[in-house]
Structure 1
Amino acid sequence: MFQFLPIEAALRRLNSQLDRIMPLLTPSGVVLGLLLGTRVAWMKPSVTILFAIITFIGGLGINSNAFFKVVKKPKAIFVFILGANVVMPLLTYAIAAMVFRNQQEIATGLILLMAIPTAITGYIWSGIYKGNGALSLTLILVSTLLAPILTPYTVSLLANTSVRIDTAGMMASLVLMVVIPSIAGILINNATKGKVNDHITPCLKPFSKVGLFLIIVINTAQVSERLLANASWAYVPIALTCAFLAVIAYPISHTLGRIAGLAVQESKSITFASSMRNISAALVLAIAYFPPETALPVIFGIVFQQSTCAVMAYVLYGRKKPT
């Protein structure tokens, strides 16, 4: 008779191992993509499918009942929107206007990086540091549903108009990659009364991380030839700016939560949700709708996001809490 439990146990162990190496896994995808270049061009059509699978798996963990419970006290949601969708994009715009005044594609890439919705991995880090799980999942849902509107229009508003922006195309891509699969996952969660998370979802989580790795490899490979050909010391200020934005988001969002008088658990959830972005989605959009140079800040964002989170979480909250 077929035994599922050993396979489930093995997949849970694999997921735990992948969690530990996430700060190295995503930058490794960038390096591999640069090395492989056009040799993986044939994999490009799989990116949208892979991303939809990742967001579907994330959606399986979101329960609409928890969402409505949090919505009844929306102050935390408003603080998140203020930090993630107002303060950080405006700060990024100001920095980009000063540092990259004559590099419109780079400035647009930085703004895109801060206009993209929150990352599902923010929920993982919030759980590690004992944040409010229901709030974290709700913020992912809210950010996901608002993304087709907020992302393209934030970029259109703040980016230099000489960079052509396909707003309709970006909206359609976000709906297909993020909104529809997320809603499908939520519906299945509700239909099973959350039981899908007992055995199925934990077994799927390793595949979402592998899918993220493949997306980074494939999309980086698409721009590798152009990026490597133009590689120079000019990349240094781009990298430093991306690192600065990745770091500064944590104290800003943490401070907003404290000013608003939120509970410590809620403040932690908002900090991770506001600071971590769905950069793989940003990379897909940068490749599809912008000049190749626009992808450069996004690629540096991939390099810094997980490692920065590990450092800043320790700075703000100390060591990881035992589970």
Structure 2
Amino acid sequence: MDVFFTKSNQWLNKNMFPVVLTAIVLGFIVPLENSPLLSALATGLFAYMTFVSALRTTFQDFVRILTKPLVPLWILFLIHGVAPLTAWGVGLWIYPDNFYMRVGLMIGSAIPIAVTSIIWTTIANGDIALALVTVTLDTLLIPILIPAIFKVMLGTSIALNYGDMVLRLLLMVTIPSILGMVVNEFTKGRLENFSRSVGGVTSKLATFIVIVINSAVVLPQIHWDFSALQMMFIVLGLVSLNYLIGFIGSYCLKDRRKEVVTAMIFNVGMRNTSFGSVLAISYFPATVAFPIILMLLFQHPIAAIIAKRFAV
């Protein structure tokens, strides 16, 4: 039975693109309304996926990166410096007379790393500890970074509701990561195989359900017309560019092991669209959230294509 799950997990690693597309299509079909219960389910699934990923790392790996944080800080510079400036430039080129569309594109590239970047790093056999540390640092620094970006680029100040984001981080990343590393240490790595068999298959099932939930909640908010289709292609280009920025940025590192490059690509490429849409709606007209909502349609399919290339 263990062999069956191991082979199934290996098959899923190589075929996540059709799996992701199926989940998005189901999101079109399945009628779901956002609710506290649905949010709690998604949080629980995220926590489980992070726990399974953490079974493949140790406290030593985590502390090693935390005590030498130059790589995570470089990743954060790419995310909150290079990417939003690039998006703003694209916005000026395509939407010279539409300030709010430019703001939406900029916010979409400046928001925090998605927790799912850890899951895709795991699927692609990247440096899980690096991904965990970077996501944690990003959330801790967001109350400083996002207001600074708004002040520099838009000339305005905002105050973030940080408490809810920290709570979600604790539940989805910090606590399950610590538990996973504790279990890994206590069992002396014997459960690492679980993360590549039963745990790997079930965590991908959890990823599938999360994508269905997010798609079902987000897609009804999109009103399809020519301008929406135009924005869809622009967002597709920017999302792809964010992954590319992560890859190109890795050439500045002394340590360009495949695992490090993989983690960088997913960390820089994936954004927390839920946070971004709430941020946009809280401070700007609803149209600003439109490109951020569209990002969800492309982040996972592109991640699946990249994972297929790296998961060997």
TM-score bucket (shorter structure)? 0.7 to 0.9
* Matched residue, 1:217: 212
1:37 partner SS: coil
Alpha-carbon distance in 2 for matches of 1:94, 1:26: 30
Which letter does structure 2 place at the counterpart of 1:14? S
Q: 1:234 aligns with which of 199, 221, 227?
A: 227
Alpha-carbon distance in 2 for matches of 1:149, 1:72: 16
Structure 2 vs 1, CA of residues 289 and 91 (structure 1 numbering), >3 Å: closer, same or farther? closer
Q: 2:261 aligns with which of 242, 258, 268?
A: 268
Residue 308 of structure 1 pairs with residue 299 of structure 2: no
Report if aligned partners of 1:38, 1:222 keep a CA contact under 8 Å in 2: yes
**Structure 1: which 5+ runs fail to align?**
1-5, 128-132
Alpha-carbon distance in 2 for matches of 1:112, 1:77: 16
Structure 2 vs 1, CA of residues 220 and 108 (structure 1 numbering), >3 Å: closer, same or farther? farther
2:99 partner SS: coil
Structure 2 vs 1, CA of residues 106 and 253 (structure 1 numbering), >3 Å: closer, same or farther? closer
Q: CA deviation at 1:168?
A: 2.5
Residue correspondence of structure 1 range 265-304 to structure 2 within 5 A: 265=258, 268-269=261-262, 271-277=264-270, 279=271, 282-285=272-275, 291=281, 296-298=290-292, 300-304=294-298
1:119 partner SS: helix
Greater mean alpha carbon deviation, residues 296-305 or residues 216-225 = 296-305
Greater mean alpha carbon deviation, residues 93-102 or residues 52-61 = 93-102
Structure 2 vs 1, CA of residues 86 and 36 (structure 1 numbering), >3 Å: closer, same or farther? same
Alpha-carbon distance in 2 for matches of 1:264, 1:138: 14
Structure 2 vs 1, CA of residues 286 and 102 (structure 1 numbering), >3 Å: closer, same or farther? closer
Report if aligned partners of 1:119, 1:140 keep a CA contact under 8 Å in 2: yes
Alpha-carbon distance in 2 for matches of 1:26, 1:299: 17
- State the identity as a percent: 22
**Structure 2: which 5+ runs fail to align?**
none
Alpha-carbon distance in 2 for matches of 1:171, 1:163: 18
* Matched residue, 2:108: 110
Alpha-carbon distance in 1 for matches of 2:143, 2:27: 26
Aligned residues: 300
Q: CA deviation at 1:147?
A: 3.4
Report if aligned partners of 1:117, 1:144 keep a CA contact under 8 Å in 2: yes
Alpha-carbon distance in 2 for matches of 1:118, 1:45: 16
1:214-238 Cα shifts (integer Å, max 9, x gaps): 11212322233332xx222222343
Report if aligned partners of 1:51, 1:177 keep a CA contact under 8 Å in 2: yes
Q: 2:26 aligns with which of 19, 32, 42?
A: 32
Residue correspondence of structure 1 range 187-198 to structure 2 within 5 A: 187-198=182-193
1:120 partner SS: helix
Alpha-carbon distance in 2 for matches of 1:31, 1:296: 19
Alpha-carbon distance in 2 for matches of 1:75, 1:90: 21
* Matched residue, 2:163: 168
Which letter does structure 1 place at the counterpart of 2:17? P
Alpha-carbon distance in 2 for matches of 1:75, 1:300: 32
Structure 2 vs 1, CA of residues 267 and 115 (structure 1 numbering), >3 Å: closer, same or farther? closer
Report if aligned partners of 2:24, 2:211 keep a CA contact under 8 Å in 1: yes
* Matched residue, 1:254: 247
Which letter does structure 2 place at the counterpart of 1:58? S
Structure 2 vs 1, CA of residues 199 and 254 (structure 1 numbering), >3 Å: closer, same or farther? closer
Structure 2 vs 1, CA of residues 267 and 52 (structure 1 numbering), >3 Å: closer, same or farther? closer
Q: CA deviation at 1:197?
A: 0.2
CA RMSD between the two structures: 3.7
Greater mean alpha carbon deviation, residues 28-37 or residues 302-311 = 302-311
1:124-163 Cα shifts (integer Å, max 9, x gaps): 4653xxxxx5xx1221121132133234554444357699
